[in-house]
Amino acid sequence: MKLGGRIQAAIEVLTEVEERKRPVGEALKDWGRSHRFAGSGDRSAIGNIVYDALRRRSSHAWKMEAETPRALVLGTMAFDWGENADKLMATFADDNHSPDALSEAEIAAINAASMKDAPFWVKGDIPEWVAPAFLESFEDDALLEAKAFAQRPPVDIRVNSLKGSIEKVEKELSRFNPQRVKLAQDCLRFPAGRGASRQPNIQGDPAFRKGLYEIQDQGSQVVSRLIFPQKGEQILDFCAGGGGKTLAMAAQMENKGQIYAYDADASRLAPIVDRLTRAGVRNAQTRTPNDGALNDLIGRMDRVIVDAPCTGTGTWRRRPETKWKLTEDQLAKRVEEQQLALAQAREFVRPGGYLVYITCSVLPEENEEQIYRFIENNPDYELVSAGEVWQDMYGFDSPKPWSSDMMSVTLTPGSTDTDGFFFCVLERRPE
Ligand SMILES: C[S@@+](CC[C@H](N)C(=O)[O-])C[C@H]1O[C@@H](n2cnc3c(N)ncnc32)[C@H](O)[C@@H]1O
């Protein structure tokens, strides 16, 4: 396919997403099925255009003075992919599968590319109602952070130290040019490309099937390290989901001690068994929700991890469509679920043990506010300074996360070059 045809295809896919409320992945797959002539390079380029259009939806709409799928895609090509109005006109003339020719108004909007009078949330490509939370959390850097959430993310992998060294995996994947990162010692990164460039098929490599690495954002790897799981400890991963943190902790514990992987939704736990086997983990067991599933663990755990259900604002780079779908009602629902998870998880911590609270969100309602409410209602718990834990682990020269009072830390694309994560530790006072 030529570029004109790819642009037309992106408009069609985005129209499906917008008008029929289809998830982007599904709409892209369906388009591929009904256009068999398109190769994998075409499909991936079309996906890149659609995701870029969603990442910077409000700034493109402002400049184009329209919010239609066509305007968003044309804006993406002009403002992100380096195709000015003249180039686009030549591209469209060259391919009869292209969209209709640019109108006078579109040419004028592309040429002007004006952000005049645009409010902060438009410039930063975040929903208007989220803007106060960004300003509260990131103050003078709110725009920088919002824009960082509108960039393409890299692909990060965590080398599984139970199976091999980072050097070994680096060599195995050398054709993809993996890079080391600053904060996670087992992480290799494949930076995001530009335009139509494709991400390497990391999961297709035999080393992946052998369990030598997992796909895991650097931020998730960093919070797994901050949990500080020790060999021999008893740990309850209370919201284990697909097991990303369980696997990372098991490797740090060198298979010594025991991790109990639990989730209120048994179906979310389903993939974990295969992943544990592939990774060579021998110190983790799953517990599925039924009456008394965790009774034997009450008051016995050295650490209980609540990697809580959340709005996922920290993953907006990877799932840009969720940025525009999020509502205040959904936020309120997640906050309730988080409160419930914390209230349920607390009873498993032994006196002197730790309750770790993590979200992949950067909204204060889900993070600092949640934790201060918990402390107020549970005087037998106190906050340990996560800022000090960070300094002990990384010193003063590494990238620093956000921290309003040193008690918790918030990782972000702008500060730590990761997805957004909130992390804090509560100690149950010894009896
Ligand atoms: C952010 S995901 C977990 C991700 C996982 N820890 C990882 O690293 O891949 C949150 C999980 O919490 C679970 N959950 C929600 N409320 C819960 C509760 N009250 N008790 C236990 N699990 C809960 C959800 O089913 C979901 O799988």
The percent of residues above 90 in pLDDT, for the chain, comes to 97
Distance CA(135)–CA(141), nearest Å, equals 8
307 is in an annotated binding site: yes
For residue range 51-110, what is the model confidence (pLDDT) as tens digits? 999 999 999 999 999 999 999 999 999 999 999 999 999 999 999 999 999 999 999 999
Angle CA 359–362–367, to nearest 5: 55
- What interface predicted TM-score (ipTM) does this complex get? 0.99
pLDDT at 352 over 90: yes
- Tens of pLDDT along 384-426? 999 999 999 999 889 999 998 999 999 999 999 999 999 999 9
Which amino acid is residue 64, in one-letter code?
M
Alpha helices in 94-162 (DSSP H): 104-112, 120-123, 131-138, 142-148
pLDDT mean across residues, the chain: 96
* 8 Å CB contact between 59 and 126: no
Q: What is the pLDDT of residue 396?
A: 87
- Distance (Å, rounded) from C-alpha 340 to C-alpha 286? 21
pTM across the whole model: 0.97
- Whether the pLDDT of residue 28 is over 90: the answer is yes
**Which neighbouring-strand residues pair with 304?**
236, 355
| Structure token pair of residue 375 | 């402390």
Proportion of the chain in helix, strand, coil states, percent, rounded to 5:
50, 15, 35
CATH fold, domain 155-215, is Alpha-Beta Plaits (3.30.70)
Closest CA to 386 of 404, 399, 373: 404
Dihedral class, residue 407 (left if φ above 0, else alpha if ψ from -120 to 50, else beta): alpha
The atom number, within ligand 1, closest to the CA of 312 reads: 1
In the chain, CATH 3.40.50.150 covers: 218-428
Tell me whether residue 141 is annotated as binding: no
Token duo for residue 30 = 């369906």
Q: What is the mean pLDDT of residues 269-291?
A: 94
Give the mean pLDDT of 129-147.
97
Whole-number pLDDT of residue 404: 86
Tell me the C-alpha to C-alpha distance, in Å, between residue 303 and each of 200, 233, 335.
Answer: 37, 8, 22
Overall average pLDDT of the 127-140 stretch: 96
CB 239, CB 308: distance < 8 Å: yes
2-24 confidence digits (pLDDT tens): 999 999 999 999 999 999 989 99
Residue whose CA lies nearest to ligand 1 atom number 1: 309
Identify whether the C-beta of residue 225 lies closer than 8 Å to the C-beta of residue 249. no
Residue nearest to atom 6 of ligand 1 (CA): 240
Residues catalogued as catalytic: 360
Q: How many whole angstroms separate alpha carbon 308 and alpha carbon 237?
A: 10
- Residue span(s) of the chain under CATH 3.30.70.1170 come to 155-215
Determine which residue's CA is closest to atom 3 belonging to ligand 1: 241
Distance CA 94, CA 162 (A): 54
Q: Which two structure tokens, joined as six digits, stand for 150?
A: 């509108």
Does the pLDDT of residue 291 top 90, yes or no? no
CB atoms within 10 A of CB 383: 18
- Report which ligand 1 atom has the smallest distance to the Cα of 224: 8
How many CB atoms sit inside 10 A of residue 86's CB? 12
Measure the CA angle with vertex 395, ends 372 and 423; round to 5°: 25
Nearest-10 Cα torsion for 236, 242, 248, 253: 40
Q: Which of 426, 377, 421, 416 is nearest to 189 (CA)?
A: 416
For domain 218-428, give the fold: Rossmann fold (3.40.50)
Query: Would the pLDDT of 431 be above 90?
Result: no
What is the predicted pLDDT for the residue at 292?
Answer: 87
**Three-point CA angle 77, 82, 86, nearest 5°:** 80
Euclidean distance between CA atoms 242 and 152, whole angstroms: 24
Across residues 197-208, what is the average pLDDT? 93
Mutate to test the pocket of ligand 1, among 223, 226, 239, 281 (most ligand atoms within 8 A of CB): 239
DSSP characters for 232-257? T-EEEETT-TT-HHHHHHHHHTTT-S
Pocket test for ligand 1, best of 156, 236, 263, 333 (most atoms within 8 A of CB): 263
Q: Is the CB of 244 under 6 A from ligand 1?
A: yes
Ligand 1 contacts CB of residue 309 (under 6 A)? yes
Side-chain-facing half-sphere of 54: CA atoms under 13 Å: 26
**3-class secondary-structure state, position 81:** coil
